[in-house]
Amino acid sequence: MSSYKSRFRSQARRHEQVEQRIAENCKASGHGRPKSRREFLARGIIAGTSTVFLPSIATLLSQYAYADSDCVIDNNPLLGAGKIPFIGIDQGGGANIAGSNIIVGGPGGQEDFLSAAGYAKLGLPQAILPQTVGVDRTFGLAMHPNSALLRGMLDKTSAATRANTNGCVIPARSENDTGNNQHNPIYGISRAGANGEFAVSIGTRNSTSGGRSDAPSTMIQAELRPTRVRNRNDAMGLAGGGNDDGFPDGRVAAASAVLTALKLGQITEGEATKELVQCGFDKTTATFNTPISASDLDPEADADLQAIFPNGELNNGDFVKAAATMKVVVNGYGGAGTIEYGGRDYHQNPRPETDGKDFFIGQVIGGSLEYAARLGKPLMIYGFSDGAVSADTNNPEDDGNGVTKFRWRSDNSQTAASFILAYSPGGRPNLRNGAASQQLGFYRADGNIETASSPFANSVTTLAEMVVLNYLALHGEQALFGMVLDNPGLGTGAAADPYIAFDPIV
């Protein structure tokens, strides 16, 4: 039982630390002890995670609570903390987003078209300039009609899902082909309240951010580090399993073991109470009364995922990690997730190969949207890459789909962009400021980002802040931005308002 007691001591230390933070906050703020999860978040004592509320141990054993318990039960047991699921798609190496996939334009927005030379740099010959062939707004966001990303999204979505999706593109440079960009907003999303039944957040890579690009150092909190989920075993392991010390992993399994030990007289009720009852404990051993089992987290047993990825696609490792992320995040078992795909260093590679990779990413995006639609859940997707590419205008070639485009020639951070997609079961999300919200920042006519067009056009850390702002705004909670992120470089209130893309969807 030494492993149990070691765990109890560790939990007790964490509880003491939380109680100290609560006391300090009460003293500094002049307010009494917070009594709800929202109060903890709003006052900065927790960052959307780590503290939840449960009845006493007696509730589990005899269905009544200790009369002297001052813990307040959280009566909002929605999976995912009632927040919008968030998926970040991190393309490592410098993928193309702007021009050949998502249309970018000048100060007037997406359809304030660039020069022919500008679009040539973005891979588009004269014959398929957007001012010639038009744009595709199937998903609200203006995309090139011959976009491989668009083809992939269409491949995995129904007409109803497309009609309930909207997006914005963000011209913003990042350094080429490096994981050092502090680009990933996952910690900020967690601090904004995203949270899961079994994990705060997840990522497909064992890294600080869960992906290739780093997270802004100002957002990182050790207790919010993403849990790695790459496949069905990882997903199922969130709810149960085992490890080398014999203590079960996962909140349900671990708490069940505590109760079993208590019933067998191997530990005292006081020790169990410290582990399970105290307000402010580690979520890894918290929700012991959930009916969810490990099999409920199995993406391969999910009929909707099987329908979205048919014909053995769930045997493809790249689809496997996407499906595992969708299963965990969209269902609220984890609040947010990063799916990382490497090998997006496009320059000098044949256009059919690079467009094939874009098509695949489109399938992952489309699959995520379709899965959310089937479950009746909203979803926010953020797509980004480290740097970008520019084209060799002397090397036209077939893109593998019967369309002539220019082959990618070299890395070019000046042609980079990121994008946000938002899905709502209630209808297409409204743009907050009309067409002006569909492109945040702009390009010069020559195909380079105008780095003075926004506070984040030349700052990936501010870009990550902007994504967190938009996540909050989808909930109508943008007023909390300055509390969720301490002193954000983007500013707060009126300074940040122009960079909110959508009206609330929940």
- Quick: pLDDT tens for 282-319: 343 334 445 677 888 999 999 999 999 999 999 999 99
| pLDDT higher than 50, residue 1 | no
Query: Can you tell me the mean pLDDT for 9-16?
Result: 50
Please give the residue that has the higher pLDDT: either 368 or 255: 368
The mean predicted confidence, pLDDT, of the chain is 83
At residue 80 the predicted structure's pLDDT band, cuts being 50, 70 and 90, is confident
Structure confidence at residue 175 (pLDDT): 85
At residue 63 the predicted structure's pLDDT band, cuts being 50, 70 and 90, is very low
- DSSP states along 230-241: -SHHHHHHTT--
Query: Can you tell me the mean pLDDT for 244-252?
Result: 38
Lowest-confidence segment of 1-15, 134-148, 318-332 by average pLDDT:
1-15
| Closest to 463 in 3D by CA, of 505, 504, 418 | 418
CA separation for the pair 143, 204 (Å, rounded): 28
Structure confidence at residue 70 (pLDDT): 37
Burial of 78 (0-12, 13-18, 19+ CB in 10 A): exposed
- C-alpha dist (Å) from residue 478 to 222, 472, 485: 24, 5, 11
Cβ neighbours, 10 Å, residue 293: 13
Query: Can you tell me the mean pLDDT for 211-218?
Result: 94
Burial of 127 (0-12, 13-18, 19+ CB in 10 A): exposed
- C-alpha dist (Å) from residue 128 to 12, 148, 445: 64, 14, 17
Q: Which residues contact 292 (CB under 8 A, 6 or more apart)?
A: 197, 198, 239, 252, 333
Which 3 state secondary structure label does DSSP give 148?
helix
| pLDDT higher than 80, residue 71 | no
Q: How far from the centroid of its chain's Cα atoms is residue 2's Cα?
A: 38
**Could you give the residue ranges of the DSSP H alpha helices within 309-350?**
317-330
The angle formed by the CA atoms of residues 163, 167 and 172, to the nearest 5 degrees, is 165
Structure tokens at 146: 């011959």
Query: Can you tell me the mean pLDDT for 402-425?
Result: 96
**DSSP label of 436:** G
Lowest-confidence segment of 36-40, 332-336, 434-438 by average pLDDT:
36-40
At residue 500 the predicted structure's pLDDT band, cuts being 50, 70 and 90, is very high
Query: Can you tell me the mean pLDDT for 485-505?
Result: 96
pLDDT tens-digit readout, 91-116: 998 899 999 999 999 999 999 999 99
Structure confidence at residue 255 (pLDDT): 52
Query: Can you tell me the mean pLDDT for 225-242?
Result: 85
CA separation for the pair 351, 358 (Å, rounded): 10
CA separation for the pair 392, 387 (Å, rounded): 17
- C-alpha dist (Å) from residue 298 to 24, 291, 314, 325, 367: 42, 15, 12, 11, 17
CA separation for the pair 197, 192 (Å, rounded): 16
Please report, rounded to a whole number, the percentage of residues in the chain having pLDDT higher than 90: 66
Is-contact 426 114, C-beta < 8 A?
no
| pLDDT higher than 50, residue 142 | yes
Query: Can you tell me the mean pLDDT for 60-67?
Result: 30
pLDDT tens-digit readout, 16-45: 555 666 666 666 555 666 544 444 544 444
Handedness of CA 376, 382, 388, 390 (dihedral sign): positive
| pLDDT higher than 60, residue 333 | yes
Query: Can you tell me the mean pLDDT for 193-212?
Result: 92
Structure tokens at 408: 């990618």
**DSSP label of 368:** H
**Phi, psi torsion values for 334, nearest 5 degrees:** -135, 145
| pLDDT higher than 60, residue 46 | no
CA separation for the pair 206, 318 (Å, rounded): 16
Structure confidence at residue 247 (pLDDT): 33
Cβ neighbours, 10 Å, residue 380: 26
**Phi, psi torsion values for 168, nearest 5 degrees:** -145, 150
Structure confidence at residue 82 (pLDDT): 85
Structure confidence at residue 74 (pLDDT): 36
Is-contact 271 264, C-beta < 8 A?
no
At residue 207 the predicted structure's pLDDT band, cuts being 50, 70 and 90, is very high
| pLDDT higher than 50, residue 496 | yes
Structure confidence at residue 270 (pLDDT): 64
Q: What global pTM score does this model have? A: 0.80
At residue 348 the predicted structure's pLDDT band, cuts being 50, 70 and 90, is confident
| pLDDT higher than 50, residue 325 | yes
Structure confidence at residue 252 (pLDDT): 45
Please give the residue that has the higher pLDDT: either 31 or 1: 31
Q: Which residues contact 88 (CB under 8 A, 6 or more apart)?
A: 184, 185, 186, 211, 336, 337, 338, 339, 381, 382, 383, 384
| pLDDT higher than 90, residue 346 | no
| pLDDT higher than 50, residue 280 | no
